[in-house]
Amino acid sequence: MQSIHWFPGHMAKARRELTESLKRVDTVLELVDARLPRASSNPMLRDMIGRKPKALVMTRCDLADPVQTRRWEQQLRADGPVVCVDARTGSGIRDVLPALEQAAAEKRQRDAARGIRPRPLRTLVVGIPNVGKSSLINRLAGRAATKTGDRPGITKTQQWIRLGNVELLDTPGVLWPKFEDETSAYILAVSGAIKAEILDPSVVCAYFLVWCASHYPDALRSRYGITALPDTTWTGPAEGWEAVEPVLAQIAQRRGLIGAGGKEDLERAAQVVLREVQTGVLGRMTFEWAESGPLKPAPPAPAE
Protein backbone atom coordinates (compact mmCIF):
# COMPACT_ATOMS: atom_id res chain seq x y z
CA MET A 1 0.00 0.00 0.00
CA GLN A 2 1.31 3.45 -0.90
CA SER A 3 1.47 6.23 1.67
CA ILE A 4 -1.89 7.91 2.16
CA HIS A 5 -1.62 11.68 2.18
CA TRP A 6 -4.15 13.48 4.36
CA PHE A 7 -3.45 17.01 5.45
CA PRO A 8 -6.25 19.51 4.72
CA GLY A 9 -5.52 23.20 5.09
CA HIS A 10 -7.31 23.55 8.42
CA MET A 11 -5.13 20.77 9.86
CA ALA A 12 -1.91 22.49 8.78
CA LYS A 13 -3.21 25.62 10.51
CA ALA A 14 -4.14 23.58 13.60
CA ARG A 15 -0.61 22.22 13.82
CA ARG A 16 0.85 25.72 13.83
CA GLU A 17 -1.64 26.84 16.47
CA LEU A 18 -0.85 23.81 18.63
CA THR A 19 2.84 24.64 18.57
CA GLU A 20 2.10 28.15 19.82
CA SER A 21 -0.47 27.00 22.39
CA LEU A 22 1.96 24.55 23.99
CA LYS A 23 4.04 27.52 25.08
CA ARG A 24 1.08 28.88 27.10
CA VAL A 25 -0.05 25.76 28.98
CA ASP A 26 1.12 23.79 32.01
CA THR A 27 -0.13 20.32 31.07
CA VAL A 28 -1.50 18.32 28.17
CA LEU A 29 -4.56 16.09 28.14
CA GLU A 30 -4.26 13.67 25.23
CA LEU A 31 -7.26 11.62 24.14
CA VAL A 32 -6.89 8.29 22.36
CA ASP A 33 -9.48 5.77 21.22
CA ALA A 34 -9.44 2.75 23.57
CA ARG A 35 -10.03 0.48 20.56
CA LEU A 36 -6.74 1.57 18.94
CA PRO A 37 -4.58 3.34 21.54
CA ARG A 38 -1.35 3.37 19.55
CA ALA A 39 -2.76 4.14 16.11
CA SER A 40 -4.93 6.96 17.50
CA SER A 41 -2.00 8.57 19.31
CA ASN A 42 -0.60 11.08 16.84
CA PRO A 43 3.21 10.68 16.62
CA MET A 44 3.41 14.31 15.52
CA LEU A 45 1.70 15.33 18.77
CA ARG A 46 4.10 13.23 20.81
CA ASP A 47 7.04 15.09 19.29
CA MET A 48 5.37 18.47 19.84
CA ILE A 49 4.42 17.76 23.47
CA GLY A 50 7.92 16.66 24.41
CA ARG A 51 8.43 16.56 28.21
CA LYS A 52 5.33 18.62 29.06
CA PRO A 53 3.36 16.93 31.90
CA LYS A 54 0.61 14.83 30.35
CA ALA A 55 -2.40 12.75 31.34
CA LEU A 56 -3.93 10.27 28.91
CA VAL A 57 -7.64 9.67 28.47
CA MET A 58 -8.82 6.52 26.71
CA THR A 59 -12.22 7.25 25.17
CA ARG A 60 -14.84 4.87 23.76
CA CYS A 61 -14.09 2.35 26.50
CA ASP A 62 -17.71 1.23 26.28
CA LEU A 63 -17.01 0.03 22.72
CA ALA A 64 -13.65 -1.61 23.44
CA ASP A 65 -12.82 -5.14 24.57
CA PRO A 66 -12.57 -4.76 28.38
CA VAL A 67 -9.70 -7.26 28.71
CA GLN A 68 -7.67 -5.42 26.10
CA THR A 69 -8.50 -2.08 27.71
CA ARG A 70 -7.09 -3.33 31.02
CA ARG A 71 -3.91 -4.47 29.29
CA TRP A 72 -3.48 -1.14 27.51
CA GLU A 73 -4.05 0.82 30.72
CA GLN A 74 -1.42 -1.29 32.43
CA GLN A 75 1.14 -0.58 29.68
CA LEU A 76 0.38 3.09 29.10
CA ARG A 77 0.64 4.06 32.78
CA ALA A 78 4.41 3.85 32.43
CA ASP A 79 4.21 7.28 30.71
CA GLY A 80 1.86 8.96 33.21
CA PRO A 81 -1.72 8.93 34.55
CA VAL A 82 -4.31 7.09 32.44
CA VAL A 83 -8.09 7.41 32.71
CA CYS A 84 -10.61 5.27 30.87
CA VAL A 85 -13.88 7.07 30.10
CA ASP A 86 -17.19 6.78 28.33
CA ALA A 87 -18.13 10.40 27.63
CA ARG A 88 -21.66 9.43 26.64
CA THR A 89 -22.59 7.93 30.03
CA GLY A 90 -20.10 9.85 32.14
CA SER A 91 -18.20 6.78 33.35
CA GLY A 92 -14.67 7.77 34.42
CA ILE A 93 -15.25 11.50 33.90
CA ARG A 94 -14.71 12.38 37.57
CA ASP A 95 -11.18 10.96 37.43
CA VAL A 96 -9.96 13.22 34.60
CA LEU A 97 -9.23 16.45 36.49
CA PRO A 98 -7.53 14.64 39.42
CA ALA A 99 -5.35 12.85 36.86
CA LEU A 100 -4.28 16.23 35.48
CA GLU A 101 -3.35 17.41 38.97
CA GLN A 102 -1.40 14.18 39.44
CA ALA A 103 0.50 14.83 36.20
CA ALA A 104 1.26 18.40 37.31
CA ALA A 105 2.27 17.50 40.88
CA GLU A 106 5.97 18.30 40.37
CA LYS A 107 5.13 21.65 38.78
CA ARG A 108 2.84 22.51 41.72
CA GLN A 109 5.64 21.62 44.15
CA ARG A 110 8.17 23.78 42.28
CA ASP A 111 5.75 26.72 42.27
CA ALA A 112 5.10 26.33 46.00
CA ALA A 113 8.84 26.23 46.75
CA ARG A 114 9.23 29.50 44.81
CA GLY A 115 6.35 31.11 46.67
CA ILE A 116 4.05 31.16 43.64
CA ARG A 117 0.39 30.95 44.60
CA PRO A 118 -1.61 28.14 42.95
CA ARG A 119 -3.48 29.23 39.83
CA PRO A 120 -5.78 27.38 37.45
CA LEU A 121 -3.94 24.62 35.62
CA ARG A 122 -3.81 25.58 31.95
CA THR A 123 -4.30 22.42 29.94
CA LEU A 124 -4.20 21.76 26.22
CA VAL A 125 -6.66 19.09 25.05
CA VAL A 126 -5.31 17.22 22.02
CA GLY A 127 -6.21 14.20 19.96
CA ILE A 128 -7.04 13.00 16.47
CA PRO A 129 -10.40 13.86 14.83
CA ASN A 130 -13.54 12.17 16.17
CA VAL A 131 -11.85 10.85 19.31
CA GLY A 132 -14.36 12.55 21.61
CA LYS A 133 -12.61 15.73 22.81
CA SER A 134 -15.70 17.93 22.66
CA SER A 135 -17.92 15.29 24.27
CA LEU A 136 -15.44 14.92 27.13
CA ILE A 137 -15.18 18.66 27.70
CA ASN A 138 -18.97 19.04 27.68
CA ARG A 139 -19.24 16.26 30.28
CA LEU A 140 -16.61 17.92 32.45
CA ALA A 141 -18.31 21.29 32.11
CA GLY A 142 -21.81 19.92 32.64
CA ARG A 143 -23.00 21.90 29.64
CA ALA A 144 -22.64 22.20 25.87
CA ALA A 145 -19.37 24.10 25.99
CA THR A 146 -18.27 22.87 22.53
CA LYS A 147 -19.83 21.42 19.40
CA THR A 148 -20.00 17.64 19.08
CA GLY A 149 -20.71 15.20 16.25
CA ASP A 150 -20.16 11.68 15.01
CA ARG A 151 -17.85 12.66 12.17
CA PRO A 152 -14.29 13.99 12.06
CA GLY A 153 -13.62 17.72 11.88
CA ILE A 154 -16.37 19.25 14.03
CA THR A 155 -14.01 21.47 16.06
CA LYS A 156 -12.36 23.98 13.72
CA THR A 157 -10.94 26.58 16.13
CA GLN A 158 -9.33 26.70 19.56
CA GLN A 159 -11.44 27.72 22.57
CA TRP A 160 -10.83 28.04 26.34
CA ILE A 161 -13.18 26.43 28.88
CA ARG A 162 -12.83 27.22 32.61
CA LEU A 163 -13.52 24.32 35.00
CA GLY A 164 -12.76 25.34 38.57
CA ASN A 165 -9.01 25.00 39.10
CA VAL A 166 -8.41 23.90 35.51
CA GLU A 167 -8.61 25.85 32.25
CA LEU A 168 -8.97 23.62 29.20
CA LEU A 169 -8.00 24.72 25.71
CA ASP A 170 -9.95 22.66 23.18
CA THR A 171 -8.27 22.23 19.81
CA PRO A 172 -9.20 20.83 16.41
CA GLY A 173 -8.30 17.18 15.86
CA VAL A 174 -5.00 16.77 14.06
CA LEU A 175 -3.88 13.84 11.92
CA TRP A 176 -0.34 13.46 10.67
CA PRO A 177 0.56 14.33 7.04
CA LYS A 178 0.61 10.75 5.72
CA PHE A 179 0.17 7.17 6.87
CA GLU A 180 3.23 5.06 6.22
CA ASP A 181 1.84 2.09 8.13
CA GLU A 182 -0.93 0.23 6.30
CA THR A 183 -2.38 -1.30 9.46
CA SER A 184 -2.73 2.05 11.24
CA ALA A 185 -4.46 3.58 8.22
CA TYR A 186 -6.99 0.77 7.99
CA ILE A 187 -7.89 0.58 11.67
CA LEU A 188 -8.24 4.36 11.83
CA ALA A 189 -10.68 4.06 8.93
CA VAL A 190 -12.53 1.17 10.59
CA SER A 191 -12.95 3.26 13.76
CA GLY A 192 -14.28 6.25 11.80
CA ALA A 193 -11.36 8.60 12.49
CA ILE A 194 -10.71 9.01 8.75
CA LYS A 195 -13.50 10.36 6.58
CA ALA A 196 -15.12 7.80 4.31
CA GLU A 197 -13.84 9.36 1.09
CA ILE A 198 -10.17 9.03 2.05
CA LEU A 199 -10.16 5.22 1.78
CA ASP A 200 -12.50 2.97 -0.20
CA PRO A 201 -15.11 1.72 2.34
CA SER A 202 -15.30 -1.65 0.59
CA VAL A 203 -11.56 -2.19 0.99
CA VAL A 204 -11.68 -1.01 4.61
CA CYS A 205 -14.50 -3.46 5.29
CA ALA A 206 -12.53 -6.24 3.60
CA TYR A 207 -9.59 -5.53 5.90
CA PHE A 208 -11.87 -5.57 8.94
CA LEU A 209 -13.58 -8.85 8.00
CA VAL A 210 -10.24 -10.61 7.46
CA TRP A 211 -8.96 -9.28 10.79
CA CYS A 212 -12.18 -9.97 12.69
CA ALA A 213 -12.37 -13.55 11.45
CA SER A 214 -9.22 -14.34 13.43
CA HIS A 215 -9.86 -12.10 16.47
CA TYR A 216 -13.64 -12.07 17.05
CA PRO A 217 -15.09 -14.81 14.82
CA ASP A 218 -18.12 -15.40 17.02
CA ALA A 219 -19.23 -11.79 16.54
CA LEU A 220 -19.47 -12.28 12.79
CA ARG A 221 -21.24 -15.61 13.12
CA SER A 222 -23.83 -14.41 15.64
CA ARG A 223 -24.56 -11.05 14.00
CA TYR A 224 -24.64 -12.07 10.35
CA GLY A 225 -25.17 -15.82 10.44
CA ILE A 226 -22.02 -16.41 8.42
CA THR A 227 -21.17 -20.09 8.05
CA ALA A 228 -17.72 -19.85 6.43
CA LEU A 229 -15.31 -17.14 7.57
CA PRO A 230 -12.31 -16.01 5.49
CA ASP A 231 -9.32 -18.14 6.48
CA THR A 232 -6.46 -15.82 5.54
CA THR A 233 -4.31 -12.93 6.68
CA TRP A 234 -4.37 -9.48 5.11
CA THR A 235 -1.87 -9.26 2.26
CA GLY A 236 -3.43 -6.43 0.26
CA PRO A 237 -6.70 -5.06 -1.16
CA ALA A 238 -6.95 -7.45 -4.11
CA GLU A 239 -6.40 -10.66 -2.14
CA GLY A 240 -8.42 -9.36 0.80
CA TRP A 241 -11.42 -8.52 -1.35
CA GLU A 242 -11.31 -11.93 -3.00
CA ALA A 243 -11.36 -13.59 0.43
CA VAL A 244 -14.32 -11.61 1.80
CA GLU A 245 -16.50 -11.30 -1.30
CA PRO A 246 -18.48 -14.48 -0.45
CA VAL A 247 -18.92 -13.23 3.13
CA LEU A 248 -20.28 -9.87 1.98
CA ALA A 249 -22.59 -11.69 -0.44
CA GLN A 250 -24.06 -13.64 2.49
CA ILE A 251 -24.52 -10.43 4.49
CA ALA A 252 -26.20 -8.71 1.53
CA GLN A 253 -28.59 -11.63 1.07
CA ARG A 254 -29.57 -11.73 4.74
CA ARG A 255 -30.12 -7.97 4.85
CA GLY A 256 -32.01 -7.83 1.55
CA LEU A 257 -29.35 -5.67 -0.08
CA ILE A 258 -30.03 -6.69 -3.66
CA GLY A 259 -29.20 -4.49 -6.62
CA ALA A 260 -30.08 -4.48 -10.29
CA GLY A 261 -30.49 -7.90 -11.86
CA GLY A 262 -30.93 -9.57 -8.47
CA LYS A 263 -27.21 -9.29 -7.68
CA GLU A 264 -26.01 -8.73 -4.12
CA ASP A 265 -25.03 -5.12 -3.42
CA LEU A 266 -21.63 -5.71 -1.85
CA GLU A 267 -20.82 -2.03 -1.42
CA ARG A 268 -23.95 -1.40 0.64
CA ALA A 269 -23.22 -4.53 2.67
CA ALA A 270 -19.72 -3.20 3.40
CA GLN A 271 -21.18 0.13 4.54
CA VAL A 272 -23.60 -1.70 6.87
CA VAL A 273 -20.77 -3.66 8.46
CA LEU A 274 -18.61 -0.59 9.02
CA ARG A 275 -21.52 1.35 10.51
CA GLU A 276 -22.32 -1.49 12.90
CA VAL A 277 -18.67 -1.82 13.91
CA GLN A 278 -18.35 1.91 14.61
CA THR A 279 -21.57 2.08 16.65
CA GLY A 280 -20.81 -1.03 18.70
CA VAL A 281 -23.68 -3.10 17.30
CA LEU A 282 -21.23 -5.86 16.39
CA GLY A 283 -20.02 -6.02 19.99
CA ARG A 284 -17.13 -4.66 22.05
CA MET A 285 -13.91 -4.88 20.06
CA THR A 286 -10.36 -3.60 20.23
CA PHE A 287 -8.72 -3.31 16.82
CA GLU A 288 -5.18 -3.06 18.18
CA TRP A 289 -4.31 -5.69 20.78
CA ALA A 290 -1.93 -5.05 23.63
CA GLU A 291 1.01 -7.27 24.49
CA SER A 292 -0.12 -10.35 26.35
CA GLY A 293 0.90 -10.95 29.92
CA PRO A 294 -0.53 -11.28 33.43
CA LEU A 295 -3.00 -8.56 34.37
CA LYS A 296 -2.13 -6.58 37.47
CA PRO A 297 -4.80 -5.21 39.81
CA ALA A 298 -6.01 -1.78 38.74
CA PRO A 299 -4.61 1.02 40.93
CA PRO A 300 -6.99 3.14 43.01
CA ALA A 301 -8.48 6.22 41.37
CA PRO A 302 -6.60 9.48 42.06
CA ALA A 303 -7.89 11.41 45.05
CA GLU A 304 -10.14 14.35 44.25
Distance CA 91, CA 139 (A): 10
The model's pTM is 0.84
Least Cα distance to 105 among 41, 169, 55 occurs for 55
Buried/exposed code over 210-235 (b: 16+ C-beta within 10 A; e: otherwise): bbbbeebeebbeebbebeebbeeebe
Crossing angle for the helix pair 237-255 and 217-224, to the nearest 10 degrees: 30
Rounded to 5°, the CA angle 36-41-47 comes to 160
| pLDDT band for position 118 (cuts 50, 70, 90) | confident
Comparing 252 with 198, the larger pLDDT belongs to 252
Homologous superfamily of 4-178: P-loop containing nucleotide triphosphate hydrolases (3.40.50.300)
Q: What does the alpha-carbon distance between residue 218 and residue 207 come to, in Å, rounded to a whole number?
A: 17
Q: What is the rounded CA–CA span in Å between residue 31 and residue 59?
A: 7
Q: Under CATH, to which class is 179-278 assigned?
A: mainly alpha
Residue spans per domain, the chain: 4-178, 179-278
How confident is the model at residue 148, as a pLDDT? 43
pLDDT digits (tens, 9 = 90+) for 128-170: 888 888 888 888 888 655 544 444 444 445 678 888 889 998 8
Best CA proximity match to 86, nearest among 34, 150, 157: 34
